[in-house]
Structure formats: structure tokens, C-alpha cells
Structure 1
Amino acid sequence: MARSELPDEFWQEIEPLLPPDTLPGEQGGRPRIPNKTAMRGIFYILTTGIRWEDIPREIGCSGMTCWRRLRDWQKLSLWDQLHRLILAQLRKAEKIDLSLVVVDSTISRTVGGGEQTGPNPTDRRKPGTKQHLIVDRNGIPLEIRVTGANRHDVREIIPLVINIPAIGGKPGAPIHKPKVVQADRAYHDQWVDALLYWMGIIPRIAKRNTPHGSGLGKTRFVVERTISWIRGLRRLRVRFDRHDYIYQAWNSLAMAFICWRTLIE
């Protein structure tokens, strides 16, 4: 269980963002599960991929309690706040490089259907969900968008670029606009190129119907590596959550954790 335990240093980043623990009132009652205990359960499920009801007793809380906290904290945008906070620390440590961003996607099988799912064209049209990811030159995850598995990649590249969070951490205005966007042939479209140029961004996207060997893979590997890190968090290998906001919470927490690991390296 050691690898699935919530790191104390990561908890120290999360704790200031959470609502304070509450004590029983004057009439007594059952004490509320502490935030740290619930977070331990959430992190354990993220890393092991087990079902909510199978959470070990030694964690100290039930799976339903962990689910409610994950839901409530997602409604407070806590995971996005945590992600932006750690991105600012990475920029302060000179570990963010927006001179180049790279885009790619991955498809996960869906159990039980749910929101933002669709027929997977690579798996006999079984239900699936697609994660569209944009990372910086070093592979640091900046944004994830969740759609159905049948959503074409080219439709998501502009929303990914637009939704890159403003990254502080240094004096002056936050940064959020990359200089170059790189992607494979699935993202090539003349209107995408035109919009990126209009935004002041250089598109470096492999063109359709051209021979392979463009050389973009030499720098595009960072997004594939980050995807492997995300899928290493087993809750994100297969989608079990029907509600979109719960699945988005897992993705945001995964981005924050990967950023934190990069920060402490």
C-alpha cells in the first residue's frame, strides 16, 4: 500500500485550499471525517483503480464519503486551483516552457456509459471516452478536455489552446499563450492553421496525405510520455464514473499530481 499512500508534501499543497474541518455541535453527534482521511481515500482510489465500495478499512472512511468529498471539492473548483498553484511554482522554478506546446489524445473504455462518452471507432464502437491533452515542451500537463470517443481530434485543438490556464509565479503578467503548437496529422486543417496564425501562434502540424518522417516525433514524444503517466494512475485506465464532473475531477487531480512530481524532482 506504500506507493498508494498520500505523500505528506502533496497534502501540504492541498490542505490550504480545503474548507476547514468542522467539529460536532453543542448537541454532539458523529464527528465529520477529517479532510486528510478523505483525501487519503481519494488518492488511494486514483492510484489503485479499485471500486469505491472496496476501499480498505484502514483508510479510515467509506468509499461513499470519499465520493462525496471528491464531488464537493470539484464543485468548488479545488482541483483546478491546485493545478494552477503548482503550475505557478513550476514557472517560478524555471520548469515551464511555453515556447512549444504539444497536443495529443487517448481513448479509454467506458463501463456503464455516462456523460461525455461515445462509440469508440477503434474498439468495434463500444462505449468509450477520449481525453484530449496539451503539454508544454517538457511534458507538463496544462489542460485536459474530456469528450466522447468518436469526437474528432481536430475539433479540440483550438479549445485546448484557448483554455491553457494563466500561469503566474513571477512578477508581471501571467503567461498563457504558447509560441508554437505541435500535433500529428489528426489535427491538420487549414482553418486550424488560420486560427492559430490569427492568435499569433505558429502551427507545426503534420499535413495529411504526406509521407511520414516529418521529424516531429523527436519533440512530440513528451505528450505520449505524459499520457503514459496519466494512465499509470489506474483509475484513469478505464472509466467507471458516469458523471462528467467526477471524471473531470480525476483528470484535474492527475494533472496536479504529475505537476507536483515534476516540481520535486
Structure 2
Amino acid sequence: MANASIPEQYYEAVAHHLPPEQPVGPKGGRPRIGHRVVVRVIWFVLTTGARWEDVPAELGCSGRTAHRRLREWEEAGIWDRLHVDLLGLLKRAGKLDAETVIVDGVTVRAFGGGEATGPSPVDRRKSGTKHTLMVDRHGVPLAIRTAGANASDHKQIVPVVLDYPRVKGTPGRPKELPDELYADRGYDSEGTRALLRWLGIEPQIARRKTPHGSGLGKVRWVVERTISWLKGLRRLRVRYDRLGVIVDAWTTLAASVICFRILHHECM
């Protein structure tokens, strides 16, 4: 049987946010496939990178059904709530330090194109997508935004910063924005620095055409590690889905899986 071993604790975290199971109506009919089975298939596709049509029948749910449910739950905001909930658990556990954030991006090929795609400047202008990640000082993913592969890096910083999550979990008002932001030379822009300072964020962005050895890499390396964790979830290595809503579901779900693994020392 195909391996689709979802941790029970992770399913419990997801189930807390899922809508009630729908019972069979008074006229009878085929019962709706249970949430646990669907989440198991979604986990299988996320971790193995399998196509929807290749989901094994023994998992108890077709790929099409799981695809529909994944979209329904994304549109209902369930994956976003799950992510923020796990960030709150990390904060209570002392594993979240979101005053300082680090931003970097990763480009993946988009077979068949779709929403938020563009010619990749690093892949012979083939269709691709760029994921811009914002992580905390420990590499915890705070937000992921998607754009075409040809989108300018420096134009992605402010949108991803505005996605900064308001994380509860400890006494006091949740922070609305970070205090400091680190990024590499690809994000060098005086306009971006000015906007960040206007928002109250001190930018630590390397400048182009300056010698290496600034020391910023001692802070920035954690985002590269998180990118490697993201690629460990094989559905994120290559984009097959054309719809932006599905891509957003995958990225938020991937962020929640990484948060869960950090919480339970599985990424350390």
C-alpha cells in the first residue's frame, strides 16, 4: 500500500479547524467521504508529489475529490487559520522570534502555465512561478507569496511583509509588523528601503556591487534552510496546478507542516 502516514497530532491540529462532517440526508444516498480520509490523501500528494490522477485507490478517496476539498478549505480560510494556530503554539513554546524577519525567494517550473506564472529568467524563459518566503530568526515560515517567475525580487518584499501574521499565544498585543528585515542583493532597492522605514521596519539589505563579507549571511542562512524544507515536500518542487487558489493552498499547507515539524523537533 502507498505510504500516506500522516502524524496523528497533525491531523488533530487540522481537524480542529475543519467544518462538521455532513451526515447522510433524510432521502439517503452515498455518504460524503470523511475528512480524515481526504486529509490523508492531501498529505500523500503534498509529501510524495504525486499527480491527482495517480492517487492509489486504496487510500479511500480519489484525487479529484481531494482536490475539490483542498480548494473548498482554502477558500474558507482553513489553511490560514491552521498556520496561525501553529505559529501561536510555537510562540508559547518559545520557538518563535518574529521581531526579525528574513526574506528570500525560490523559483519552480510551472508545467502547463496557469495563474501567477511567467517566463523564468533562470530556466531559459520557461514558464515558472516564484515563491517569496518570509521567515523568523529561527526559520519558521511566517508568510509565502506567489508571483510569476519574471517578477522583480524587490517588488515582492512589501507585499509579503504586509502578510505578517498577528500571532497570539502570549500576553500582550500581537505585533503587526516586524522590527527588522534581512534580504540579499537581489532585493537591493532604495525605494524598497524607504517604504520599509516608513512602515517602521529597519531594512538590512545587501547592496549590489559591494564586496561580500557583510556578515548578513549569518542571519539570512535560515531562510535557505527553510527553502530546502519546502522542497522536501515534493509537491512544492514543481508546479502542476494551474489555479492560483490551489497553489496558495499548497504553500500555506506546506508552511503549516514545517511549523508542525519545528514544534515537534522534526526539523531540527
Specify the TM-score bucket, using the shorter chain as the normaliser: over 0.9
Q: 1:3 Cα deviation (Å)?
A: 6.3
Q: Does residue 1:223 correspond to 2:223, yes or no?
A: yes
**What residue is the counterpart of 1:93 in the other structure?**
93
Q: Distance in 2 between matches of 1:101 and 1:27?
A: 54
Q: 1:162 Cα deviation (Å)?
A: 1.5
**What residue is the counterpart of 2:143 in the other structure?**
143
- Structure 1: which amino acid aligns with 2:41? G
Which structure 1 residue ranges, 5 or more long, are not aligned? none
**What residue is the counterpart of 2:35 in the other structure?**
35
Q: 1:176 Cα deviation (Å)?
A: 3.2
- Structure 2: which amino acid aligns with 1:59? L
Q: Distance in 1 between matches of 2:173 and 2:206?
A: 32
C-alpha distance after superposition, 1:229-263 (max 9, x if no partner): 00110001000000000011000000011001111
Which structure 2 residue ranges, 5 or more long, are not aligned? none
What is the DSSP-based 3-state SS (H/G/I as helix, E as strand, rest coil) of the residue aligned with 2:16?
Answer: helix
| 1:1-265 to 2 correspondences below 5 Å | 4-265=4-265
Q: Distance in 2 between matches of 1:249 and 1:196?
A: 28
Q: 1:4 Cα deviation (Å)?
A: 3.7
Q: Is this contact kept in 1: 2:48–2:233, CA < 8 A?
A: yes
Q: Distance in 1 between matches of 2:215 and 2:96?
A: 23
C-alpha distance after superposition, 1:19-70 (max 9, x if no partner): 1111211221101100010000001000000110111122111111100100
Q: Is this contact kept in 1: 2:144–2:252, CA < 8 A?
A: yes
What is the DSSP-based 3-state SS (H/G/I as helix, E as strand, rest coil) of the residue aligned with 1:145?
Answer: strand
Q: Distance in 1 between matches of 2:39 and 2:108?
A: 25
Q: Distance in 1 between matches of 2:257 and 2:176?
A: 20
Q: 1:137 Cα deviation (Å)?
A: 0.1
C-alpha distance after superposition, 1:125-156 (max 9, x if no partner): 00000000000000000000000000010001
Q: Distance in 2 between matches of 1:98 and 1:38?
A: 33
- Structure 1: which amino acid aligns with 2:62? S
- Structure 2: which amino acid aligns with 1:263? L
- Structure 2: which amino acid aligns with 1:197? R
Distance 1:230 1:241, change over 3 A: same
Distance 1:99 1:26, change over 3 A: closer
Q: 1:99 Cα deviation (Å)?
A: 3.0
Q: 1:200 Cα deviation (Å)?
A: 1.7
- Structure 2: which amino acid aligns with 1:122? V
Q: Distance in 2 between matches of 1:119 and 1:4?
A: 34
Q: 1:218 Cα deviation (Å)?
A: 1.4
Q: Deviation above 4 Å: which 4+ runs of structure 1?
A: none
What is the DSSP-based 3-state SS (H/G/I as helix, E as strand, rest coil) of the residue aligned with 2:218?
Answer: helix
Q: Distance in 1 between matches of 2:227 and 2:3?
A: 20
Distance 1:204 1:3, change over 3 A: farther
Distance 1:223 1:4, change over 3 A: farther
C-alpha distance after superposition, 1:145-198 (max 9, x if no partner): 000000010001111111111011112211232121000011111111112222
Q: Distance in 2 between matches of 1:74 and 1:174?
A: 24
